[in-house]
Amino acid sequence: MAFEFTDTNFKESALDIDGVAVVDFWAEWCGPCKMIGPVIDELSTELDGQAVVGKVNVDEQAEVSTRYGIRSIPTILILKNGEVVDKHVGMATKQALLEKINAHLS
């Protein structure tokens, strides 16, 4: 299961870490978000120990969503050492996301 980022834990769990964090911005009412959700959960399991993979519910965590200017969902941000290094908006295959993430793991 993917980590649940919140306005309260985002700084320590995504920004202050040494390494990669993958953040999926989503909402309950979003069809494409529901489709990509299981992919995010799988990536969380597969990348355990290599990257923090989690989700931000845009309806419940407005502060983080606003800070990153999230206007379309799903939006996936890849952060390395607290900085956004890649961004994907919309649906994506697991393989496509894995390739983007792996590019920043080394």
CA within 13 Å, CB half, 68: 30
Q: Report DSSP state, residue 76.
A: E
Cα(80)–Cα(19) distance, rounded to whole angstroms? 5
23-39 b/e (C-beta count within 10 Å ≥ 16 → b): bbbbeeebeebeebbeb
**Residue tagged 């923090």 (tokens):** 52
Catalytic positions, please?
A: 30, 33
